[in-house]
Chain A
Amino acid sequence: MVTATTPLKAEARNLNFIYNGGNRAVKNLSMPLYENKITALIGPSGCGKSTFLRCFNRMHDLYPGNKYEGQIVMHPDNTNILDPAVDPIEVRMRISMVFQKPNPFPKSIYENVAYGLRVRDIKNKRLIDEKVEEALKGAAIWNEVKDRLQDLAFNLSGGQQQRLCIARALATDPEIMLFDEPTSALDPIATANIEELMSELSNKLTILVVTHNMQQAARVSDYTAYMYLGELIEYGDTDSIFTHPTRKETEDYITGKFG
């Protein structure tokens, strides 16, 4: 439930995002992200939820001509992570991401998880070993891969690959983890595993997840935001959004009349 005591981890303030070519995919969006909670972004395809998510780790900076307006402020340091003076790499060091389709590197299982540490100039082999094990345990895949850490990551199943990607994102101790439809390419059992994992992870870090699947949002998230055509239509704790939506559009979407 939203209480005065739940600390804020981040906050979007009047955020606009304009793609190269002028398409305004996120419009004047303001929304909180509470610490150690899971916030779900739902809405029909093309509503801007993934675009919004990718603002959090400045992924849009990789492509020329994209433009942010407004702010995403991270707490407790009050940094506006969209400020051009803030290096996107610094932002990505604090906020990690799990993608829609499992995208392990064509390297060994071990190297996939260790890569984030190597990028941070960690050279101590024992420390990397420890961190890799910890991350793989945290992503609930350790038991399946501990005997074949040097195998290629591509030899894992889709669900295992996605958990490996979670381990990769986890190894660097991020403050926030972004999930962009993390189960859309997985079967129901693998999906259940990932959902359980997200709930566990939220004890330690803040999660923002985009999902197409309303049941998933209802199952895993503490807060839900419904977006449509780049605008935030309704935001609230998940129970009230799903049981008593205040806006007609939200209700229509949730009940399946639309979308």
Chain B
Amino acid sequence: MNDDVRKNNDASKNLMKYQATTNKAAVLENLDAVRAMIRRHKFNDYIFSIIGLIALMIGLLTLLTLFIELIRDGSGRFNLQFFSDFPSRRAEHAGLLSAWVGSALIMAITFLVAVPMGVAAGLYLEEYAPKNWFSDLIEINVSNLAGVPSIIYGLLALGLFVYGLGLGQSILTAGLTLGLLILPIVIVATRESIRAIPVAIREAAYAVGATKWQVVADHIVKYSYGGILTGVIIGMARALGETAPVITIGALTFIAFLPSSPISTEPPYLNFEWLSSGFTVLPIQMFNWLSRPDHAFHVNAAATGAIIIMVTLLMNGTAIWLRYRIRKNIKW
């Protein structure tokens, strides 16, 4: 075989030499064409990165400008008194007390409603529900619920909670309504973080003889709660800023009293009267001040807006931090 090759080489030596030179020219020419083509293709990269950057900046800068302006306009009111004063007819004495207490109490109920229900529903859909047309239908509807306009939830709550169940225009009603509103967000977050658990881990748990509930309680919930918590916080941040459904169920716009305290000094130490109290929330207080002709109130509105944005950012930041902390020990 070696002999064959050598013979072949000898015979074509001249030809090879010739080909080598022409090939070189051809290769160089070809290389130029290739380089021109790559330059052309890369130009598209360049164009797109500029378009993308502009798109990003429009969104980001608008929001940032808005936020800075709110802080600048409201800067006169960032003091403790603003948080400890009730609303007043005089702008410089008007504060957020009833609004932030209302928001906080309502958020607590929203949390207590949305988390157990959302997590249970998500777990059931992922782990227990038989897979058939009915569960498919439910699945589609849960995703759709997340897109229903919030005022529709307000109307539903007005009919069901306020009049149907006779809960009145109360903190309880508002908490339940916002709980329902963010329920789909919690369900979807729960299902997504459950789905992120690899099949191999699930099978490993079943293979040692665990029942479905043992797998859910010892593994599924423990490995997915980081993602679930993130979804809950993001849902809560949305609920905090919701205005339309809260107006629909009859939030007050001017309120100069606090609900009775949930904790009392006498047995049984807990008091549930606050649940049926009237209320207002931060975005409604903001809207109320904004709608007044007196310019001094607009300062209050700006300060409130900045506070809502800051709390929302803080909640989302916490969600990201928690997810990072919890995921650190779990890598699939």
What residues of chain A have their CB less than 8 Å away from a CB belonging to chain B?
57, 59, 62, 64, 89, 92-93, 96-97, 99, 101, 103-106, 115-116, 118-120, 152, 154, 165, 168-169, 172
A172 touches B204 (CB 8 A): no
Q: Across the two chains, which residue of chain A brings its CB closest to B208?
A: A116
B204 touches A103 (CB 8 A): yes
A165 to B130, CA, bound (A): 30
25 contacts between A and B (CB under 8 A): A57-B207, A59-B203, A59-B207, A64-B130, A64-B131, A89-B210, A92-B206, A92-B207, A97-B207, A99-B203, A99-B204, A103-B201, A103-B204, A104-B204, A105-B219, A106-B201, A106-B330, A115-B205, A116-B209, A118-B218, A119-B208, A154-B329, A154-B331, A169-B207, A169-B208
Given the interface contacts A64-B131, A105-B201, does A152 sit within 8 Å of B329 by beta carbon? yes
| Chain B contact residue count (CB 8 A cutoff) | 22
Q: Across the two chains, which residue of chain A brings its CB closest to B197?
A: A106
**Chain A residue contacts of B214, Cβ below 8 A:** 119
**Residue from B203, B210, B331 within 8 A of A119 (CB atoms):** B210
Query: Nearest-CB distance from A172 to chain B (Å)?
Result: 6
A169-B208, A172-B208 known; 16 new pairs, CB 8 Å cut-off, are A59-B203, A62-B206, A99-B204, A99-B207, A101-B200, A103-B200, A103-B204, A105-B201, A106-B329, A115-B208, A115-B210, A118-B218, A119-B209, A119-B214, A154-B329, A169-B207
A96 touches B131 (CB 8 A): no
Query: Nearest-CB distance from B64 to chain A (Å)?
Result: 39
1/0 contact string of B219-236 vs chain A (CB within 8 Å): 100010000000000000
B203 touches A172 (CB 8 A): no
**Chain B residue contacts of A97, Cβ below 8 A:** 207
A106 touches B208 (CB 8 A): no
Q: Across the two chains, which residue of chain A brings its CB closest to B330?
A: A106
Q: Does B198 contact A (CB under 8 A)?
A: yes
Q: Across the two chains, which residue of chain A brings its CB closest to B201?
A: A103
**Residue from A103, A106, A168 within 8 A of B203 (CB atoms):** A103
**Chain A residue contacts of B198, Cβ below 8 A:** 103
A87 to B136, CA, bound (A): 28
Q: Does B211 contact A (CB under 8 A)?
A: yes
Query: Nearest-CB distance from B74 to chain A (Å)?
Result: 46
Residues in B175-203 with C-beta less than 8 Å from chain A: 198, 200-203
**Residue from A93, A101, A106, A154 within 8 A of B209 (CB atoms):** A93
A168 touches B208 (CB 8 A): yes
A57 to B205, CA, bound (A): 12
B207 touches A89 (CB 8 A): no
B205 touches A96 (CB 8 A): no
A96 to B210, CA, bound (A): 12
**Chain A residue contacts of B208, Cβ below 8 A:** 92, 96, 115-116, 119, 168-169, 172
